[in-house]
Amino acid sequence: MQALDDVKVLDFMWVMAGPTATRVLADYGAQVVRIESTRRIDTARTLAPYHGGVPGPESSGIFQNLNVGKRMLTLDPSRPEGREVVLDLVRWADVVTESFSPKAMRGFGLGYDALRAVKPDVIMLSSCLMGQTGPLASFAGYGNLAAAISGFSNLGGWPDRPPAGPFSAYTDYVSPRYITAAILAALEYRRRTGCGQHIDLSQAEASIHFLGPALLDYTVNGRVAGRVGNRDRDLAPHGVYPAAGTDRWVAIAVDGDAQWRALCDAMEQPALAGDTRFVTAADRHANADALDAAVAAWTAGRDMHDVEVLLQARGIAASAVQNSGELVVDPQLLHRGHFQQIPHPVHGTTTIETSRFHLSRTPAHITGPAPTYGQDTNAILTDVLGYDDDRITALVTAGVLE
Amino acid sequence: MLSPYRVLDCTNARGLLCGQMLADLGADVIAVEPPGGSPARRLGPFADDVVDPDRSLVWWSYARNKRSITLDLERPEGRDIFRRLAASAHFVIESDDPGVMPARDLGPAALDPSLVYVSITPWGQTGPKAHWADSDLILLAAGGPLVLTGDDDRPPVRLPVPQAYLHASADAAVGALIAHHERQRSGRGQHVDVSAQQSVAQATQSYILCAALGAPEVRRTAGGLKNGPLTLRLLFPASDGHVAITFLFGSAIGPFSRRLMEYLYEQGACDAATRDKNWLEYTQLLLSGAEPLEEFERVKRVVESFTRSRTKAELLAAAVARGLVMAPVATLDEVVASPQLAARDYWQPMAHSDIGRSVTYPGPFAKFSATPLRWRRRPPTVGEHNAEVYAELGLDVAELERRGVV
């Protein structure tokens, strides 16, 4: 038995955040049927990384990574016959998810009220950038915009430079956890009460919680956070230091005076341990530039993995700054089974990430690759909805299954 | 939604958000703190810059809707009381290093098997790095996001608000709810084992797979990314700050870039030839050499000189009116002043009797039509609910205090 094998999800979500959330449900056994229209290709199919670095609608590694274990029905929901198919799937589903801009589902005649009319206890979750209401409700876009408008982008980088931001569409990686948790909590409530509901999840509003302390520093203390490079409030040294090779780095975070002395010992620089500029954390913060220079002078030319092992042996937090080539052979990630090779109908095999957390008794299980275009359309219409050949032929003839 | 359920939240600074998500969803979450308070309470910033365990804004951010008790788990008597508490609970969340709770005889194997027992650790419960030292920066380095962020001529850089354990704790809440769902049918609990290293890998946008897929490594550049020979830029200057633009190409995003260039043309910021480039296939044109890379550099400068001449508000208004993927890079005071968030009643005032004034908090992470999330309790002071919770167990808190257990 899988943990969620009694959960059925009709999934209109696309691009990154939404599919990331329903991927977790699929990992733990939920039946997830995605709707994709050839008239509106899933943007994720156009995003890198690609197999062999070559773009193509069945070549996107991120589309693969976010959609394994789901089935896909190719359908145009804007057509009346398409809407009827959707409503049949709504009757089948426990949960309906969508991440269009707020007017789209109502435009298809598939707003919450329409769904509830055919399935009174349906749980519908709508995820969009800014929420279903308010002056910016119709403002659609990608996670890099929500990251900007909710305060993340301005904070990453150096005080003397323009913002560097967190990587790309940051809130697309934050909000999926809130989406999945919201769905599971609503299912729990429905189990006890029989009541479904509509959940309006704004990617910006959910993600803002990841900036909590800095926001309270403003609402309570009036202080507006800015860019500080890699400086930390408490730890020093705390930074990313050059290692041997081109653009190779090692991160080091020193917690307390004893660890500082241990670092000096590891660096074989007893004079540094006695240097009055660096004795206490307050000293080290006050002289952080000189401190970073002293550490960088030692790391430069050393192998980043040698440094992390040397320092970790002394209990000092350190890690090579790993790229995908190092991550795919990282012994800890391998021990955790973080990567999995699965068969792929176009590429032979592909590699995906597995569940980020482990359940001891009902572990995640990858059932198969992400669907190719229209791969499951017939099977879903036949097995899930019980349509006969004549009805399916009529839908094909009407051009609804595109 | 989770109001019938009790959660014992023994987490230190690593795991606070997990219990808060469950508390926001209605669960009775009891923070079990060591005498003197959670180590998370030592983390700044502090309200009014007064360093005090009851004024840590990290604690305030992630302890809302929880109750707090103190309990010394280093003492056998404290452990006995914890077991009595656990008998009334449905979830236990902890974030000590692997082996610490089992050594107290409070690991998942020692407690009721119907409990959902959640462990949040840097690297996971086992493995060659399971006992490595960690921090936010170290996990971001080890898990993949760090190499992707920062200026290309300086070291990779993290956000100044620690993120790694928020990713892990949010994953932990999801894992707890999946295990809970399963328990409704099986009657059995299980152990949810969360590795922050794996959780932060989410923030690589699947670029963690580059090597495995035979794709080139993506490299960092401020406000963008370098993919092969292409330097993609997502942040641009405005006259009063910066704006984000999803200035990317292809069949899905390319049409937005075409609309952006039409807007620039109408504003007199570019010529027709620049407007009319094939934005849907622009990436392929650049990669094949049909479009010189230097021309792409010129286009980005055209966009830059235009955005630099406009305010963030002007650019947002244009984005809304024209369906452009462009948004202001907000400072945190601007986030708090957002008309959008105000229209949705996002910010929630909470009375802080402990400091005698009201504090504005971020609001519910989602709007539930049938079960709206409520900010029921301000973050508790150290052991604020000792009397209440221990009375529920039939214990005399004064006696426990006298013996130094709480």
Of B142, B193, B211, the CB nearest to A357: B193
What pLDDT, on the 0 to 100 scale, is given for residue A327?
A: 98
And the tokens for A272?
A: 């540094």
3-state helix, strand, coil in chain A (%, to 5): 40, 15, 45
What pLDDT, on the 0 to 100 scale, is given for residue B98?
A: 98
Alpha-carbon distance of B341 to B131, in angstroms, equals 42
Query: What percentage of chain B has pLDDT greater than the value 90?
Result: 96
A249-253 and A238-242 beta bridge pairing = antiparallel
Chains A & B: contacts with CB separation below 8 Å: 534
Alpha carbon of A334: minimum distance to chain B alpha carbons (Å): 9
pTM comes to: 0.98
- A360: nearest CA partner in chain B: B191
Burial B314-328 (b: 16+ CB within 10 A, else e): bbbebbbeebbbbbb
What is the radius of gyration, based on Cα positions, of chain A? 25
- The answer, yes or no, to whether residue B404 has pLDDT greater than 90, is no
CA angle (A183 as vertex; A179, A186 as ends), nearest 5:
135
What pLDDT, on the 0 to 100 scale, is given for residue A233?
A: 96
Alpha carbon of B276: minimum distance to chain A alpha carbons (Å): 21
| B328-337 mean pLDDT | 98
ipTM above 0.90, yes or no: yes
The SS3 call for residue A244 is: coil
What pLDDT, on the 0 to 100 scale, is given for residue B144?
A: 98
Alpha-carbon distance of A256 to B60, in angstroms, equals 24
The SS3 call for residue A354 is: coil
What pLDDT, on the 0 to 100 scale, is given for residue A72?
A: 94
- A138: nearest CA partner in chain B: B320
What does each of the 402 residues of chain A score in pLDDT, given as a tens digit? 899 999 999 999 999 999 999 999 999 999 999 999 877 888 999 899 999 998 887 899 999 999 999 999 999 999 999 999 999 999 999 999 999 999 999 999 999 999 999 999 999 999 999 999 999 999 989 999 999 999 999 999 999 999 999 999 999 999 999 999 999 999 999 999 999 999 999 999 999 999 999 999 999 999 999 999 999 999 999 999 999 999 999 999 999 999 999 999 999 999 999 999 999 999 999 999 999 999 999 999 999 999 999 999 999 999 999 999 999 999 999 999 999 999 999 999 999 999 999 999 999 999 889 998 888 999 999 999 999 999 999 999 999 998
Alpha carbon of B288: minimum distance to chain A alpha carbons (Å): 12
And the tokens for B151?
A: 């200026």
Q: What mean pLDDT value characterizes chain B?
A: 97
The answer to whether the Cβ–Cβ distance between B160 and A231 falls below 8 Å is: yes
The answer to whether the Cβ–Cβ distance between A148 and B243 falls below 8 Å is: yes
Write out pLDDT tens, residues B163-191. 999 999 999 999 999 999 999 999 999 99
Residue A271 host element (H or E) = helix A270-274
- Counts of helices then strands in chain A (DSSP H, E): 18, 12
The answer to whether the Cβ–Cβ distance between B209 and A177 falls below 8 Å is: no
The answer to whether the Cβ–Cβ distance between B108 and A360 falls below 8 Å is: yes
Catalytic residues of A, by residue number, are 172
Q: Is the CB of residue B185 less than 8 Å away from at least one CB of chain A? A: yes
Contacts of A141 in chain B (CB under 8 A): 246, 319, 325-327
Mutation target among B97, B332, B348 for the A interface, most CBs of A within 10 A: B332
Of A135, A312, A335, the CB nearest to B339: A135
What pLDDT, on the 0 to 100 scale, is given for residue A126?
A: 98
- The answer, yes or no, to whether residue B82 has pLDDT greater than 90, is yes
Locate tokens 């692997």: which residue?
B98
Mutation target among A228, A319, A328, A346 for the B interface, most CBs of B within 10 A: A319
Residues 133-152 of B with CB under 8 A from A: 133-151
Of A47, A149, A200, the CB nearest to B330: A149
Q: Is the CB of residue B281 less than 8 Å away from at least one CB of chain A? A: no
Q: Cα separations (Å) of A4 from A181, A384, B238, B290? A: 13, 18, 48, 50
| B260-287 mean pLDDT | 96
